[in-house]
A and B are shown apart, each in its own frame.
Chain A
């Protein structure tokens, strides 16, 4: 006979003990009994398996089916009596189960609850069997036919009973229509059009992911049977408690999380669904219950059942993920770097073959009931590529009612607030949605009650949290391995001020903290966003044009970056220059145009072009997302009033026209950049249109670059259009194939017009070509988005590009312009000197160049003008003798030639001696010059100049200063007489300096330049070929 009440350690039979023991419980579990003989706790008492305290109340119960008799609070085990704290209640299977069970038609098949047990009594079942029910639900509930009537049947694995003792429970089916007689046919009574769904639908659910949203909705009118009169729907999810690692600690003692009626459906009082969210972990069960009012004012369950979710497991080891987030004013795009290094924009459920991010426990079919605002986080995103996440937040309450940081942070994503992927019905007022919260100043305009920095920060934070959750859910619906770390790269518009940047940074930090709790992964946002949006886009592709002009027209702002390709590549004399010639950003995005169509303001329809039904910006923006193109939007009679189409188009022309004007003026500013010497001469050394061209003797500064086999002189600007705002350009393409082509054409026309209207343009010249020279070609080209991509994707993809990991990128970021840097645009008058500042002048701090990287270039000596040109590069200040002003180090001669006489290392030979030596070696020098295709005189001048440079470098000064100093000393030698007093000497020096300065001024030069030029002329005059040798060997 099986021992039922003994110590498994020593074998002592406890039923022989004649005593009464107070058998209290500890928490929700009975205390352990110890063997009085050996003290072991491995005591097995069969009766105790059938008598147990309830999880929620702690009250002791026993199965009526188990039949353990005894006093009301005593468990009798032979002679041993265990006395518990409370009366032991008897439970029956009918008490713990619903009276009837609903059947649902889901995707053409019947779905029935796996267990008919009320959630409160789940702890009365055997935990192992409950787990099995989740893993193999088909083994449990089923529909049977009994005497022509469909009934529900399920074996109940009651806690403590042997498998052979488990009773079978049978009950009626709950008819969908409570007023129709039960026809007995399961299909006749089944619910249809009901969706019970769980988000996210993880391919491999893990213990680490703890955020879930569950909802039950009427998808169709048939599904409204859920809310039939005379009964009430109640839905709850049962979530297990978990340990510190997130592992569930119980299968049957579960926390109950209620699903609440979806609200925020103005104009519609009746419910259409219930939704709930939990951050405690994956629910084990969802309970669908139907209640009926009782006479006493309460409610009792008349039917229901439990639907299981497969249990989670431990996460598989995984790599780190990298996201690139382009948090736009109107739309957000998120790119991900795949394991193979490929980059891809996240587009959840993009096509039919993609896994849904929603797990449908019941599938009621495509929804036809659209009421209120739909905050469900699953579903396709917007745009033609379905990769646009609207930068909007919907809320079941009016946003003005939750206008505090704490209230916003208390909202549950997907339940109380969320991204309205499918927009909002017209019945919902715009007070339930907030958009453009990227900018405090936009919120000020739209919803002033929310226009506080901490609230905007909370909105941004919750949006980023939601966007990351949706992105991760999308990826994990297809991948099994969940990441431990997610690196999130994000950018910012240059129009952000420091406050905006700090708000976004803190928002990202907060979102990262919450995401860790919700997903178990570390979402690492950089302490500061590393890169502005335009630069991020620039990182995605390389250029072969002189300049790339990134024009990012988003919903909120227009970012402009003129990027110098030569500087980026350290070539043609642009090394050391920061690639960002101009970088600016204006709060002038696509929303400007959309708002103009809505009218003078929210609720003020003056000037409105939209139909009254889309009379808010949010609704119009939603219509834009769902429209194929802006032109189609304009054609839509549901959006734009017929009589207002022409006006809407004119506004688009003005909107785009001013952007063209802005861009053209910016590019004109690049072309017209110039400095002035003290004498008023133009200094074009900072004009980016100039490049070093040619090699050796031909190397020089030219305006533009030589391109193609014909070496045509061109100035190239390549437009890169980014952002969705350019969609409005479609309205004014005027026959051009693309918006890019239209922009390039219009910017070209306007740029040339502006240059022609500007006097200084003719003076911007390299001596050969000027800006107004018809032979100089202005090439305004454009880049189309890559196939399969679009204008908005470049920033997100660029953030993940390898480009940004380079040393250059880090330097360029560090030295970027800290504020807007562009052109004034309008002529200004300043009262300080009553002066006029022309429109093409720059404003704002420029990006910092790196002078140490500047290319050293000295014009070759073979050109007669070269020695003159060298002094022309001298600094602007007048020298004050005897101490000459500091001069820049003059670059060494490029392409140094072999010296016919070798160098003069360490020996500062007088220049006259150098010239003499060159003349002495004239035949050899002439031969070498002939080999190089230059004249002997030119060759000798180069050699002499090289020596000047060498000697100057040895004495730590520039060659001009060396020459000027030598010339000054020669002049002084002729002026100074022996016995002069210091005063007389100073007077002579001053007189001579005055004379030199006036001479220099007449030539538009500084004194130093003038002196250096004089000296150079004297030296080069010595470089003449020696007289021919006398014929016949005679002496000269």
Chain B
């Protein structure tokens, strides 16, 4: 049991909750920082998609389509936020098409 919580958590008035990330610009560049760490038994995304090229293309296409959600389609306490998941894009657009390459 941890007894040394330094900052007491703030749990209370939900109506004034503020999302933990700043709103993002309407036109923003989005990138995948690095190959996500996966469990050892799974081939990493970069093995299935070298350089995550196809994933990035899917990301670009998604950004062009509907990247940024306007108010009120955002988490509470912010004004604009992302409306896509790079993991979902990878699974739908890359893994689904390249599962046959797994030997």
- Distance of A611 from chain B, by nearest CB (Å): 16
Closest to A865 in B: B8
Residues of B within 8 A of A837 (CB): 21, 82
Once bound together, how far apart are the Cα atoms of A845 and B68, in whole Å? 10
Contact A832 B18 (CB under 8 A): no
Once bound together, how far apart are the Cα atoms of A600 and B97, in whole Å? 8
Secondary structure at chain B's binding surface: helix, strand, loop or mixed?
loop
Contact A829 B15 (CB under 8 A): no
Kindly name the residue among B10, B29, B41, B81 whose own CB sees the greatest number of chain A CB atoms within 10 A: B10
Contact A875 B13 (CB under 8 A): yes
Residues of B in contact, count (CB < 8 Å): 62
Residues of A within 8 A of B31 (CB): 828-829, 831
Residues of A within 8 A of B57 (CB): none
Interface residues of A in 899-933 (CB under 8 A from B): none
| Known A675-B18, A822-B85, A854-B14; contact A647-B102, beta-carbon cutoff 8 A | yes
Assess whether A873 is interfacial by the CB under 8 Å rule: yes
| Known A650-B103, A675-B19, A831-B28; contact A826-B90, beta-carbon cutoff 8 A | yes
Closest to A838 in B: B21
Interface residues of B in 74-97 (CB under 8 A from A): 74-77, 81-88, 90-92, 95-96
Closest to A771 in B: B2
Once bound together, how far apart are the Cα atoms of A804 and B48, in whole Å? 42
Closest to A577 in B: B14
Assess whether B73 is interfacial by the CB under 8 Å rule: yes
Contact A773 B2 (CB under 8 A): yes
Residues of A within 8 A of B96 (CB): 587-588, 592, 595
Once bound together, how far apart are the Cα atoms of A299 and B61, in whole Å? 64
Once bound together, how far apart are the Cα atoms of A683 and B20, in whole Å? 8
Interface residues of B in 22-77 (CB under 8 A from A): 22, 24-25, 28-34, 36-39, 41-43, 45, 69, 72-77
Once bound together, how far apart are the Cα atoms of A655 and B48, in whole Å? 12
Contact B10 A830 (CB under 8 A): no
| Known A650-B103, A843-B82, A869-B8; contact A828-B33, beta-carbon cutoff 8 A | yes
- Distance of B103 from chain A, by nearest CB (Å): 6
- Distance of B94 from chain A, by nearest CB (Å): 10
Assess whether A136 is interfacial by the CB under 8 Å rule: no
Residues of A within 8 A of B72 (CB): 845
Assess whether A91 is interfacial by the CB under 8 Å rule: no
- Distance of A829 from chain B, by nearest CB (Å): 4
| Known A650-B102, A775-B1; contact A588-B95, beta-carbon cutoff 8 A | yes
Contact B92 A681 (CB under 8 A): no
- Of the listed stretches A78-86, A285-293, A759-767, chain B binds A759-767
Interface residues of A in 567-611 (CB under 8 A from B): 576-577, 584, 586-588, 592-593, 595-600, 606-608
**A577, A593, A684, A822: which contacts B10 (Cβ < 8 A)?**
A684
Interface residues of A in 355-400 (CB under 8 A from B): none
Assess whether A665 is interfacial by the CB under 8 Å rule: yes
- Distance of A753 from chain B, by nearest CB (Å): 7
**B3, B87, B103: which contacts A824 (Cβ < 8 A)?**
B87
| Known A830-B28, A832-B24; contact A686-B14, beta-carbon cutoff 8 A | yes
Interface string of A664-696 (1 = CB under 8 A from B): 010000000011111001111111001000000
Contact A820 B29 (CB under 8 A): no
Contact A822 B5 (CB under 8 A): no
Contact A846 B30 (CB under 8 A): no
Once bound together, how far apart are the Cα atoms of A364 and B62, in whole Å? 58
Interface residues of A in 853-887 (CB under 8 A from B): 854, 857, 865, 869, 872-876
Residues of A within 8 A of B88 (CB): 584, 586, 662, 820, 822, 825
Contact A600 B86 (CB under 8 A): no
Interface string of A288-312 (1 = CB under 8 A from B): 0000000000000000000000000
- Distance of B79 from chain A, by nearest CB (Å): 13
Residues of A within 8 A of B95 (CB): 588, 592, 654, 658
Residues of B within 8 A of A647 (CB): 102-103
Closest to B9 in A: A684
Kindly name the residue among A677, A769, A845, A876 whose own CB sees the greatest number of chain B CB atoms within 10 A: A845
Contact B36 A686 (CB under 8 A): no
Residues of A within 8 A of B16 (CB): 875-876, 888
Assess whether A211 is interfacial by the CB under 8 Å rule: no
Residues of A within 8 A of B91 (CB): 586, 588, 658, 662
Once bound together, how far apart are the Cα atoms of A155 and B103, in whole Å? 75
**A657, A676, A767: which contacts B42 (Cβ < 8 A)?**
A657
Contact B99 A592 (CB under 8 A): yes
Contact B75 A674 (CB under 8 A): no
| Known A599-B100, A647-B103, A675-B19; contact A828-B86, beta-carbon cutoff 8 A | yes
Residues of A in contact, count (CB < 8 Å): 95
Contact A828 B30 (CB under 8 A): yes
- Distance of B47 from chain A, by nearest CB (Å): 10
Contact B73 A674 (CB under 8 A): no
Contact A826 B87 (CB under 8 A): yes
Residues of A within 8 A of B42 (CB): 654, 657-658, 661
Contact A675 B7 (CB under 8 A): no
Closest to A886 in B: B16
Closest to B74 in A: A845
Contact B100 A600 (CB under 8 A): yes
Contact A872 B30 (CB under 8 A): no
Assess whether A166 is interfacial by the CB under 8 Å rule: no
- Distance of A885 from chain B, by nearest CB (Å): 11
- Distance of B100 from chain A, by nearest CB (Å): 4
Contact B15 A854 (CB under 8 A): yes
Residues of A within 8 A of B28 (CB): 830-832
| Known A681-B10, A767-B5, A822-B85; contact A827-B33, beta-carbon cutoff 8 A | yes
| Known A586-B88, A655-B99; contact A830-B15, beta-carbon cutoff 8 A | no
Contact B86 A654 (CB under 8 A): no
Once bound together, how far apart are the Cα atoms of A577 and B69, in whole Å? 21
Residues of A within 8 A of B99 (CB): 592-593, 595-596, 651, 654-655
Assess whether A529 is interfacial by the CB under 8 Å rule: no
| Known A658-B42, A828-B86, A843-B83; contact A684-B102, beta-carbon cutoff 8 A | no
- Distance of B23 from chain A, by nearest CB (Å): 9
- Distance of A383 from chain B, by nearest CB (Å): 24
Contact B20 A832 (CB under 8 A): no
Closest to A586 in B: B88
Assess whether A819 is interfacial by the CB under 8 Å rule: yes
Once bound together, how far apart are the Cα atoms of A681 and B101, in whole Å? 47
Residues of B within 8 A of A827 (CB): 32-34, 36
Residues of A within 8 A of B81 (CB): 843
Residues of A within 8 A of B3 (CB): 768
Contact A819 B10 (CB under 8 A): no
Once bound together, how far apart are the Cα atoms of A822 and B84, in whole Å? 9
Assess whether A839 is interfacial by the CB under 8 Å rule: yes
- Distance of B1 from chain A, by nearest CB (Å): 5
| Known A658-B91, A675-B20, A839-B36; contact A823-B85, beta-carbon cutoff 8 A | yes
Contact A830 B5 (CB under 8 A): no
Q: Which residues of A contact B (CB under 8 A)?
A: 576-577, 584, 586-588, 592-593, 595-600, 606-608, 647, 650-651, 653-655, 657-658, 661-662, 665, 674-678, 681-687, 690, 701, 750, 753, 757, 762-770, 772-773, 775, 818-820, 822-833, 835-837, 839, 841-846, 849, 851, 854, 857, 865, 869, 872-876, 888, 1004
Q: Identify 13 new A-B residue pairs, CB closer than 8 A, beyond the known A607-B101, A826-B45, A888-B15.
A: A593-B99, A658-B95, A662-B87, A686-B17, A765-B2, A819-B73, A820-B83, A824-B87, A827-B33, A828-B33, A830-B28, A835-B22, A873-B13
Q: Which residues of B contact A (CB under 8 A)?
A: 1-3, 5, 7-22, 24-25, 28-34, 36-39, 41-43, 45, 69, 72-77, 81-88, 90-92, 95-96, 99-103
Q: List 12 A-B contacts (CB under 8 A).
A: A586-B88, A586-B91, A647-B102, A651-B100, A654-B99, A678-B18, A681-B10, A824-B87, A836-B33, A844-B82, A846-B76, A873-B10
* 10 residue pairs, one from A and one from B, having the closest CB atoms: A825-B87, A873-B12, A845-B73, A596-B99, A607-B100, A831-B29, A826-B86, A832-B25, A701-B11, A596-B100
